[in-house]
Structure 1
Amino acid sequence: MSYAIVGFGKIGQALAQAFARKNINVAVASRRPPEALAPQARAIGPTVVAKSLRDALEADTIILAVPFGEHREIAKALPSWKGKTVIDAMNSFPVPPEELDGLPSSAFVAKSFTGAKLVKGFNHLVAATLATDPIVEGGHRVVFLSSDDEDAIAPVADLAKQLGFAPVKLGKFNEGGALVHARGKTWGLLIFQDLFKKQQ
């Protein structure tokens, strides 16, 4: 399984640190050329490699960590997203709900990534929290996952576990997933909730 993070701002870098901590290879890309990202990628760790967007999108699993409005441009970079898993780590705040066709933001994003399995995840924590070690005092920091494709959640949950997080499945976007979506100026109840799960 290969991984890429598209977007190398605070959230993208925080996620790259999570991969580096566990020595898992990940490509990072943004609108900037790879040589502009390379020094920061190298500083995070040897498993974090800056690539062009085209090369990064060859990965099996792609984490979207770009500002919400940019996802459509990313979607146009591939003719087909079939066989790809896309993890939506974006927040649509403060985009008005009518601009999302009344849909949860991830369901709206999924329309652009035709053929992909789209999972909402890693979006509810601020970058500074996401960047810290998720294993604290015998507990694992929770990440919430939701998708309209039940089968898509399992591999993303496995990735979350590999990174040291405790995945909690919320179900479909418009059900439990609504708890981690921002709608207009309303935050879902689980956004910013920094929760831990004790080892069983």
Structure 2
Amino acid sequence: MARNTPDLLEVAAGYDLADFEAAIEQARRPAGTGTVLLTTPQAADPGQAGPMKIGTLGAGTIAQAIARHAIRHGHEVVLSNSRGPASLAPLVQDLGARATAAPPAEAALADLVVLAVGWPQVPGLAAQLPPLDGTVVIDATNQFDSPPPNAKIADLGDLTGSEYVASLLPGARVVKAFNALFAQFIAPDPRHEAGRQVLFLAGDDTDAKDTVSGLASQFGFAPVDLGTLREGGRLIQLGGPLSGLHALQQD
């Protein structure tokens, strides 16, 4: 997310998902009120992700950060953007032999797809893609009709942002993740002396969430499953209480 970053919150034990409202209230206290005590729930270990081909729809800061983590852990990455593969040649060269560039329709054929484009581009991009039946799609978008400093949040009625995205990608198994973190906290090693960077995620397909959790764990994040695209997605989308909340989980 491209906006001014709050201080990274150090996390200590004490809460579980049932107590998230209290945890959020404490995390939102003004600066200087002491250490934030917030525990991420201890979910079952989904296991480490085996080698995959990961396609990115978009090649900005979020997609690049995920791509670098993926390549570092032995995955192949196929990058795409709206300007064509040739525009990505310098980035591909920088990323190394496990990276390639392709049109979006080809990148979408990967084992797992990362959607990381500006919100106004989502409908047009979705219309260009092949059927994604069964494909795990990480939705890293935020529903900005217009970006900061004159930000305007898209009015989706009763839908969450990821429910809307899922409606444009029939058959895809959409998992909301990586949208609530500022890009500068995604790119570095998420393992710190005080704990691991928490990665909130939500989705309607348990197996898809396990896949994303396994990948995030492999990268070094502490994944926290918040439930469905409706309930959990609402917590981490723009305007939600966990949007932009950066926390560390003590192991």
TM-score by length of 2: 0.72
Contact persistence 2:113–2:137 (CA under 8 A): yes
Equivalent position of 1:149 in the other structure: 205
Q: Name the stretch that deviates more: 10-19 or 55-64.
A: 10-19
The letter of the residue matching 2:104 is L
1:194 corresponding residue in structure 2: 246
Structure 1 stretches of 4+ with a deviation exceeding 3 A read: none
Distance 1:137 1:42 in 2: 32
Structure 1: runs of 5+ lacking an equivalent: none
CA contact (8 A) 1:60 1:83 kept: no
C-alpha distance in 1 between matches for 2:89 and 2:130: 27
Q: Residues 54 and 113 of structure 2 are in contact (CA less than 8 Å); yes or no, is this contact kept in structure 1?
A: yes
RMSD: 1.7
Alignment of 1:104 with 2:160, yes or no, is yes
Which is greater in Rg?
A: 2
Distance 1:41 1:101 in 2: 39
Q: Which residue in 2 is equivalent to 1:75?
A: 126
Tell me, in whole angstroms, the C-alpha distance in 2 between the residues paired with 1:83 and 1:130: 26
Partner of 1:5: 56
2:179 and 2:139 mapped to 1: Cα distance?
7
Counterpart-to-counterpart distance in 2, 1:61 and 1:120: 13
Q: Cα offset for 1:190?
A: 1.1
CA shift, 1:138, in A, is 6.2
1:92, 1:105 within 8 Å by CA — same for their partners in 2? yes
Give the one of 77, 87, 91 matched to 2:138: 87
Which amino acid is the alignment partner of residue 36 of structure 1?
Answer: S
CA distance in 1, matches of 2:233, 2:162: 9
Distance 2:246 2:175 in 1: 20
Counterpart secondary structure, 2:226: strand
Measure how far apart 1:49 and its partner are: 2.0
**Does the alignment pair 1:49 with 2:117?**
no
Question: What's the offset of the Cα at 1:130?
Answer: 1.1
- Residue 170 (structure 2) pairs with residue 170 (structure 1): no
Moved more, 114-123 or 13-22: 13-22
- Once residues 184 and 97 of structure 2 are traced to their aligned partners in structure 1, the CA distance between those partners, rounded to angstroms, is 21
What residue ranges of structure 2 are gaps of 5+ in the alignment? 1-51, 145-151
- Following superposition, the deviation at residue 147 of structure 1 comes to 0.9
* Contact 1:27–1:48 under 8 Å retained in 2: yes
Structure 2 distance, partners of 1:148, 1:16, is 24
Structure 2 counterpart SS, 1:171: coil
Tell me how far apart the structure 1 counterparts of residues 193 and 134 of structure 2 sit (CA, whole Å).
38
